[in-house]
């Protein structure tokens, strides 16, 4: 690369010098050639004019010997090969040879005129000068001049120019070589140091040689630049070390924080699970409380009836022992006994039915076992289990589910889902609303079971809609809402039933939860299917 | 100018033709010889640089000859109406007797060229001194004995007219003479 640059500089200098010399020498030689040619032409023309003037009288007085004598003076001019003096016949305009010199009389190469003419041929200059008397031609002098001497002069000039060119070229070669070497030596030094710095990253290296003028300044600037880079490099290394230390500290801190965060998350998850469990227990407790309350009435009635039955039995026993039992008393007592028994039986049956129903829901909520059930009946049982909450209101629950839709799934999950939804509607949706309506729809096709839950309550606040399924989201925390209801709902649908639940914004009033469950999970065995 | 040139050329050719005849000197016709002399005189005039301040006046050629000479006639025919340096040529005849009277006449005093046909002194022409003006070209005709007054003598040699220059009279003639003319003149 450096060799190439050196060669380029050398060749450029050589080319420029050669071009400059050619630009000088070529016009100079051309000028010399033109000058010599013009000089020769002018000299011969002048000589011809003088001879023509001198010959005027010889023609006019018919003195050919004198003319020959005049022309003989040309022997001093070795270049003039021949000279021929023509006399002009004014009547016929014919030219006759009057006198000649040299190679004998020569015919004119062109038609002459009063101004005279000149012509260059290969190796000859032809000059014709008019012989004038009072501005009118009486004859012409034709001279032939060989150009050998001119060509010798030109050749000599060219040889000199070539010699000068060669010498100049040699000098230029030497100068170009020396100059390129001198100019590029600092560059080579710079390249060597630059390469060493690039390879070793050792910015303490310097160009130690001293150079003159601009190259010296260049080297000094380069060394100064290396000094600056060295300082920067040292600072950079220190900064990098600091940054590395900071990074290490930061990594440790991040690790600590991550661990703390991880612990917090784990704690949160534990707390969340605990809360969910508590929520479930609370829900179950609420259910149990409701069940106890519901069973309390028929059981109380049954107890009263049994007490009355016991009284009647004692009274009958006493009367029979006294022998005071009358037929009518017997018949009246038996009628009372029968009525009391019927009341007792009816209330116990009612209690048994409620226990059975509650037991089913409660057991399903606590035990997530897979079994077959009728969806409509099961939802109605769930509604029944929530009667303690519903009967204090005038809200209405409409179960719009096909009669024979049998599922093979986890009924407890459904119980929890609808319990949550209905309780949310009662607590939040129907707050300050007297006559609310909850509608539960179910539709099945070959691939999915679609469950829709509607209420016409207050709906969900816009700020909460986007995160309704996130944990601890509630608008009723002051009244004890945990914010886990919809979160549990979401997990039950997505984790246990492998379906999806969406809050659909397609009702003017209230809420619409759409639950889509795959059949693979619900295993429908409906007669309708 | 063209006419003048043509006349000069014609006279030259005539001269050449006449002079080229063998034995011409002995058999030449007097008239043709007179024409030849007129041509020579006229051509010689061309090689003198005449003053230009008198361009409006005539160029007077004075023929110093006898009354009966045919030269005058042919000089008149050949040269009258010609021009020299833009001046019209007028030919005057001055014989020996008239020369005495003409010495004071305007014509004689205004001659630019004097052509001798004889030796002046032998003809008894003392008036010749009147023509010693430095601007008068004096030419001697062939046969006229060379004299000290003429600047150029026409001499018949080998059947050809030769021009001789009188070196003694040259200082008396101050008008420039063409080197071309001097080149063909012989020295006397």
Per-residue pLDDT tens digits for A418-434: 988 998 899 889 988 98
Mean per-residue pLDDT, A168-190: 81
Q: What is the pLDDT of residues A192-217, one digit of tens each?
A: 888 988 888 888 888 877 777 777 88
- What CA–CA distances, in Å, run from B94 to A199, A343, B61? 125, 208, 10
Instruction: Please provide the DSSP assignment of B34-91 as one string.
Output: HHHHHHHHHHHHHTB---STTTTS-EEEEEE--TT-HHHHHHHHHHTT-EETTEEEEE
**Is the pLDDT higher at B85 or at B126?**
B85
Task: Check pLDDT > 50 for residue A218.
Answer: yes
Mean per-residue pLDDT, A175-196: 81
The model's confidence at residue A75, banded by pLDDT at 50, 70 and 90, is: confident
Task: Check pLDDT > 80 for residue A475.
Answer: no
Mean per-residue pLDDT, B70-75: 84
| Residue A143 CA neighbour count, 13 Å, CB half | 31
**Is the pLDDT higher at A34 or at A478?**
A34
Model pLDDT, residue A329: 86
Interface-testing mutation among B5, B36, B52, with chain A (most A C-beta atoms within 10 A): B5
Q: What is the pLDDT of residues B13-52, one digit of tens each?
A: 455 444 444 444 444 577 788 888 898 999 999 899 888 7
Note whether B180 contacts A138, CB cutoff 8 Å: no
Note whether B180 contacts A135, CB cutoff 8 Å: no
Share of chain A above pLDDT 90, in %: 20
Q: Does B165 touch chain A (CB under 8 A)?
A: no
- Which backbone phi and psi does A409 adopt, to 5 degrees? -150, -155
Q: Does B43 touch chain A (CB under 8 A)?
A: yes
SS3 readout for A465-512:
HCCCCCCCCCCCHHHCCCCCHHHHHHHHHHHHCCCEEEECCCCCCCEE
Q: How many residues are listed for chain A in this entry?
A: 529
Mean per-residue pLDDT, A498-518: 91
- Which of A63, A89, A133 is facing B5, going by the closest CB pair? A133
H or E segment to which residue B14 belongs: helix B2-19
Going by their DSSP bridges, the two strands B137-140 and B152-157 should be labelled as parallel
pTM over 0.90: no
**Is the pLDDT higher at A458 or at A354?**
A458
The model's confidence at residue A282, banded by pLDDT at 50, 70 and 90, is: low
Question: Tokens 């002098």, residue?
Answer: A141
Provide the shortest C-alpha distance from residue B176 to chain A (in Å).
15
Task: Check pLDDT > 90 for residue B172.
Answer: no
Task: Check pLDDT > 80 for residue A523.
Answer: no
**Is the pLDDT higher at A10 or at A118?**
A118
Q: Which of A93-102, A290-299, B38-47 has the lowest mean pLDDT?
A: A290-299
Q: What is the pLDDT of residues A229-238, one digit of tens each?
A: 889 988 999 9
Q: How many CB atoms lie within 10 A of CB A394?
A: 11
Closest CA to B38 of B17, B66, B6, B7: B7
Provide the shortest C-alpha distance from residue A48 to chain B (in Å).
14
Task: Report d(CA A220, CA A514) in Å as an integer.
Answer: 81
- Which of A57, A63, A135 is facing B178, going by the closest CB pair? A57
Interface-testing mutation among A49, A53, A58, A61, with chain B (most B C-beta atoms within 10 A): A61
Mean per-residue pLDDT, A332-353: 85
The model's confidence at residue A10, banded by pLDDT at 50, 70 and 90, is: confident
- Within 8 A by CB and 6+ apart from A476, the residues are A427, A428
Query: Do A455 and A430 form a contact (C-beta atoms < 8 A)?
Result: yes
The model's confidence at residue A452, banded by pLDDT at 50, 70 and 90, is: very high
Average pLDDT, chain B: 74
Model pLDDT, residue B100: 53
The model's confidence at residue A510, banded by pLDDT at 50, 70 and 90, is: very high
Model pLDDT, residue B131: 56
Model pLDDT, residue B4: 43
Q: Does B188 touch chain A (CB under 8 A)?
A: no
Q: What is the pLDDT of residues A395-422, one digit of tens each?
A: 999 999 999 888 888 888 888 899 889 9
| Contacts with B180 from chain A: Cβ below 8 Å | 53-58
Query: Do A437 and A512 form a contact (C-beta atoms < 8 A)?
Result: no
Note whether A134 contacts B179, CB cutoff 8 Å: no
Model pLDDT, residue A476: 67
- What CA–CA distances, in Å, run from A367 to A89, A359, A360, A363, A401? 156, 11, 10, 6, 24
Task: Report d(CA A349, CA A41) in Å as an integer.
Answer: 157
Task: Check pLDDT > 90 for residue B180.
Answer: no
Model pLDDT, residue A480: 54
Mean per-residue pLDDT, A504-511: 88
Model pLDDT, residue A323: 86
**Is the pLDDT higher at A377 or at A357?**
A377
Q: Which of A221-230, A365-374, A389-398 has the lowest mean pLDDT?
A: A365-374
Model pLDDT, residue B117: 81
Closest CA to B8 of B59, B58, B42, B47: B42
Task: Check pLDDT > 80 for residue B148.
Answer: no
| Contacts with B21 from chain A: Cβ below 8 Å | none
Model pLDDT, residue B98: 54
Task: Check pLDDT > 70 for residue A186.
Answer: yes
User: Across-strand partners of A84?
Assistant: A100, A142
The model's confidence at residue A99, banded by pLDDT at 50, 70 and 90, is: very high
Model pLDDT, residue B174: 83
Average pLDDT, chain A: 84
Mean per-residue pLDDT, B44-73: 83
The model's confidence at residue A273, banded by pLDDT at 50, 70 and 90, is: confident
Mean per-residue pLDDT, A124-151: 89
ipTM reported for the complex, 2 dp: 0.76
């Amino acid at each position: 690369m450096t060799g190439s640059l050196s060669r380029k500089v050398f060749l450029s200098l050589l080319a420029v010098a050669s071009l400059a010399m050619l630009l000088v020498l070529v016009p100079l030689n051309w000028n010399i050639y033109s000058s010599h040619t013009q000089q020769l032409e002018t000299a011969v023309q002048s000589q011809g004019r003088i001879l023509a003037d001198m010959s005027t009288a010889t023609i006019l007085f018919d003195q050919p010997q004198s003319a020959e004598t005049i022309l003989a003076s040309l022997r001093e001019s070795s270049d003039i090969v021949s000279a021929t003096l023509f006399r002009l016949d004014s009547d016929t305009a014919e030219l006759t040879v009057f006198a000649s010199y040299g190679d004998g009389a020569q015919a004119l190469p062109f038609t002459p005129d009063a101004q005279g003419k000149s012509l260059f041929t290969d190796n000859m200059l032809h000059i014709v000068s008019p012989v004038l008397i009072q501005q009118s031609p009486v004859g012409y002098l034709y001279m032939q001049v060989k150009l050998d001497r001119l060509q010798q002069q030109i050749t000599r000039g060219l040889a000199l120019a070539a010699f000068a060119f060669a010498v100049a070229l040699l000098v230029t070669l030497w100068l170009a070589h020396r100059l390129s070497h001198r100019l590029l030596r600092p560059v080579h030094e710079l390249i060597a140091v630059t390469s060493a710095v690039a390879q070793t990253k050792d910015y303490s290296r310097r160009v130690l040689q001293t150079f003159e003028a601009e190259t010296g300044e260049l080297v000094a600037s380069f060394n100064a630049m290396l000094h600056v880079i060295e300082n920067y490099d040292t600072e950079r290394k220190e900064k990098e070390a600091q940054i590395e230390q900071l990074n290490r500290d930061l990594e440790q801190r991040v690790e600590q924080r991550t661990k703390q965060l991880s612990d917090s998350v784990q704690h949160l998850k534990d707390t969340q699970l605990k809360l969910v469990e508590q929520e479930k227990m609370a829900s179950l407790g609420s259910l149990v409380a409701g069940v106890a309350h519901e069973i309390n009435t028929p059981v109380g009635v049954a107890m009263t009836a049994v007490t009355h039955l016991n009284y009647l039995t004692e009274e009958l026993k006493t009367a029979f022992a006294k022998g005071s039992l009358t037929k009518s008393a017997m018949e009246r007592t038996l009628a009372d006994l029968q009525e009391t028994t019927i009341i007792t039986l009816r209330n116990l049956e009612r209690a048994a039915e409620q226990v059975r129903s509650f037991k089913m829901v409660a057991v399903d909520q606590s035990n997530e076992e897979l079994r077959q059930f009728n969806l409509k009946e099961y939802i109605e049982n769930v509604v029944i289990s929530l009667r303690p909450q519903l009967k204090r209101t005038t809200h209405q629950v409409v179960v719009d589910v096909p009669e024979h839709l049998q599922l093979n799934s986890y009924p407890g999950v459904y119980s929890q889902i609808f319990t949550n939804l209905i309780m949310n509607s009662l607590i939040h949706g129907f707050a300050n609303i007297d006559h609310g309506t909850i509608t539960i729809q179910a539709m099945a096709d070959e691939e999915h079971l679609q469950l829709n839950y509607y209420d016409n309550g207050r709906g969900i606040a816009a700020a909460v809609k986007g995160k309704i399924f996130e944990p601890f989201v509630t608008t009723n925390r002051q009244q004890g809402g945990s914010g886990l209801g919809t979160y549990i709902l979401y997990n039950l649908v997505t984790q246990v039933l492998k379906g999806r639940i969406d809050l659909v914004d397609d009702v003017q009033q209230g809420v619409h939860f759409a639950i889509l469950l795959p059949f693979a999970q619900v295993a429908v065995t409906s007669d309708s299917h | 100018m063209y006419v003048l040139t043509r006349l000069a050329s014609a006279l030259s050719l005539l001269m050449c033709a006449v002079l080229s005849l063998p034995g011409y000197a002995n058999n030449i016709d007097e008239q043709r010889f007179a024409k030849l002399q007129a041509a020579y005189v006229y051509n010689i005039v061309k090689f003198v640089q005449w003053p230009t301040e008198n361009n409006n006046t005539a160029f007077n050629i004075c023929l110093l000859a006898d009354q009966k000479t045919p030269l005058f006639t042919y000089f008149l025919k050949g040269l009258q109406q010609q021009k020299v340096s833009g001046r019209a040529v007028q030919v005057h005849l001055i014989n020996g007797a008239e020369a005495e009277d003409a010495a004071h006449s305007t014509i004689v005093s205004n001659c630019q060229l004097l052509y001798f046909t004889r030796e002046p002194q032998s003809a008894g022409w003392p008036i010749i001194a009147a023509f010693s003006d430095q601007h008068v070209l004096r030419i001697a005709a062939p046969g006229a004995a060379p004299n000290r007054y003429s600047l150029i003598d026409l001499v018949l040699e080998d059947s050809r007219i030769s021009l001789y220059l009188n070196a003694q009279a040259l200082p008396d003639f101050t008008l420039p003479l063409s080197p071309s003319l001097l080149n063909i003149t012989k020295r006397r």
